[in-house]
Amino acid sequence: MQIIPTTGLQTNIFDVEKRVKEVKDFCRWIQVDVCDNKFAKRKTFELELLSKLDLNINNILWDIHLMVNEPINWVEKCLFVGSSRIVGQVEMMSDREKFVDLVKNEGLEVGLAFDVETEIVDIPKETDVILLMGRKAGFEEREMDLRIFNWIEKAAKFIKRVGVDGGVNNKNVKLLEKAGANIVYSEKSYFDLIDGKNN
């Protein structure tokens, strides 16, 4: 299983910088969460600022999770900051095929993210990753929704790579892996999860 640290829903770019510096020596991928105050209340830092940080990193791959209205309109910003994978919330998309095609045509990996109440259907063929929210997306702290195990099984019928984001910890990560998840995203529990593991 691949464990990817996430910056979390940060409103201050310097908090992002601090988080990245904490994990950059332990991982290859880092997820950056972006929220525009439309999909979920509040807004994260301006994505373009990511390119301004002095992080002294050459091997990090950015996984940008777009919790924004019309993620397709954010692809150019993701390219500007050097992202390697762009994942968009399907609830905010008017056309999944166009989003997937645009990202793939730019030579990047592409993912579709599903919030807890969204049915897992209509997955374009070129999709690389399905990201399942383990709890309702947003700034509020919540426990993992146990229905996630059924959603993983359903998502795995469409695609080989299924990720889970939200509520992942060292108590449930093995259960998620057994259910078929092969990527998990974690902010607060990251170092607990990688203890004794390679990612």
Within a 10 A sphere around the Cβ of 28, how many other Cβ atoms? 12
pLDDT tens digits for range 93-115:
999 999 999 999 999 999 999 99
Name, in order, each residue with C-beta under 8 angstroms of 167's C-beta and a sequence gap of 6 or more: 134, 135, 142, 143, 144, 145, 148
Query: What CA–CA distances, in Å, run from 128 to 10, 37, 86, 104, 165?
Result: 26, 27, 10, 9, 16
pLDDT tens digits for range 39-94:
877 788 899 998 888 776 777 899 999 999 999 999 999 999 999 999 999 999 99
Can you point out the beta strands (E) in the chain? 2-5, 29-35, 61-67, 83-89, 109-114, 129-133, 162-165, 183-186
H or E segment to which residue 172 belongs: none
Domain locations along the chain: 2-194
Q: Does domain 2-194 sit in CATH 3.20.20.70? A: yes
Write the DSSP symbol of residue 156: T
- Residue-level pLDDT at 194: 64
The pLDDT confidence band at residue 2, using thresholds 50, 70 and 90, is very high
C-alpha 129/C-alpha 85 separation (Å) is 9
Average pLDDT taken over every residue of the chain: 89
The pLDDT of 20-38, averaged and rounded, is 89
Query: What CA–CA distances, in Å, run from 141 to 9, 27, 135, 138?
Result: 11, 25, 9, 8
- Residue-level pLDDT at 42: 78
SS3 43: strand
Both tokens of 64, joined, read 């940008």
- Residue-level pLDDT at 196: 43
pLDDT value at 133 more than 60: yes
C-alpha 72/C-alpha 196 separation (Å) is 38
pLDDT tens digits for range 145-169:
889 999 999 999 999 999 999 888 8
The pLDDT of 15-21, averaged and rounded, is 88
- Residue-level pLDDT at 167: 87
List the single range of 22-31, 101-110, 153-162, 187-196 with lowest mean pLDDT.
187-196
C-alpha 176/C-alpha 159 separation (Å) is 16
- Residue-level pLDDT at 187: 82
